Structure 1
Amino acid sequence: MGGVGESPKGLVALLMIAVGFVLNTVGFAAPYWVTAAGGSRFGLWMYCDFLDNCHQWDSDGITFAKFDQIRAFEGLGFVGTLVVLFCTVLYMCVPKVSGNKILGILDVLVCFASAGAIIIGVIIFGSEHSNLGWAFGLSTAGGVLFALAGVLIILAMCRK
């Protein structure tokens, strides 16, 4: 490993990105964004009744108009997390491009954009609902970890 990958800040950022990716991916897919008192629950893609009969749903039957916006922000955030994970591994672990400033700047920008999209999505969702579930919390934590990892990558880049 060379350059930034040897920095403790860089390694912590890579760990935060890996953990944030897992948290956000599970939260993005799980039907536990809202849990109702009767045992029903739903997420961005599925609705499950109190008998655990789950169905995929579209936003036409939803009572709030911002559902498509939430899905769009969360989807963009998810795609961004894939790009960040790939770029960070390249930037910190592949000797030929390790420490490349352009790749590092791209990594930081996509990291902050992904975090912003995820956090905007959860803010919109959270403002529309109560009884928020654990998947909502995982997505929120994933977005925060990506924002913090972006700061650590900047600090690792400035080390040189």
Structure 2
Amino acid sequence: MAGWGAASIPLRVALIVLCLALVVFVIGFATKGWAHNKFGTDIIAEAMRIPVYVEHEIGLWAYDVCYTERGGGLNKYLRYARYYQCGDRDIGLFIDGLRCGDWYHAVQGIECLGLILMVAALILLFLYFFVQSMKQRKYLLITIGLTFGAVVFIIIGVGIYGSKIKDIYYKLGWSFGVTIAGAVLAAVAGIAEVIVLLK
């Protein structure tokens, strides 16, 4: 009989950790915190030079640009408050502006493959876990392959991103780390699946 009560502890661990890995990975995959940059500049408006900080928060699919107050105190802030704003932008503007399209699109594609493989592994693991006719060695082998395939693609993607983003003077952000955490959790789930296979 299939189900939670009949499952071994390593199989339960694999299912729980793979679910957690997918949630953590999707948070990193979808958010705008892969890299960031902040610099001071002046914007020209109404024949005046307004000192601002420009902050970029970049994700795989979109980025934020914020203009914030740079020196001058409260009076200057109130005077120029309408120029201090944040806005979402399409990642295509960032890619085109810095001419980093080739590697950026590669990372997007590789991370998408990692996501697809992880979702497929989770679906197959659910079926292996709850459907009696799916409790065969070949389905567990496929699940293990999908899980470790997802880990490999995710790590390749973050490796490319981490090595290239520093070339354009950006620092790695929290979403980058969350994505790596998702890959590590998926690897732990894969190890638990291997333990189930060896029993």
TM-score, normalised with respect to structure 2: 0.73
Paired residue for 1:42, among 58, 63, 76? 58
Instruction: Indicate yes or no: 2:177 matched with 1:140.
Output: no
Please state which structure has a larger fraction of its residues in strand.
2
Deviations 1:41-92 (A, max 9, x none): 1111001101330122224334434111111110100111110110111111
1:40 aligned counterpart, secondary structure: strand
**Alignment of structure 1 residues 2-151 onto 2, 5 Å:** 2=2, 6-37=7-38, 38-50=54-66, 51-58=85-92, 59-64=95-100, 65-97=102-134, 99-130=135-166, 131-151=171-191
RMSD, aligned CA: 1.9
Q: Which runs of 5+ in 1 are unaligned?
A: none
Q: Which piece of structure 1 moves more, 88-97 or 13-22? A: 88-97
Which is worse superposed, 149-158 or 59-68? Answer: 59-68
Q: How many equivalent residue pairs?
A: 158
The 2-side partners of 1:87 and 1:95 are apart by 13
Distance 2:147 2:115 in 1: 11
Native 8 Å contact 1:119 1:144 kept in 2: no
| Greater C-alpha radius of gyration | 2
Mean Cα displacement is larger for which, 81-90 or 54-63?
A: 54-63
Q: How much identity, in percent, do the aligned residues show?
A: 28
SS in 2 for 1:54: strand
Name the structure, 1 or 2, with higher relative contact order (CA <8 Å, separation 6+): 1
* Structure 2 stretches lacking a partner, 5+ long: 39-53, 67-84
Q: Distance in 2 between the 1:119 and 1:92 partners?
A: 27
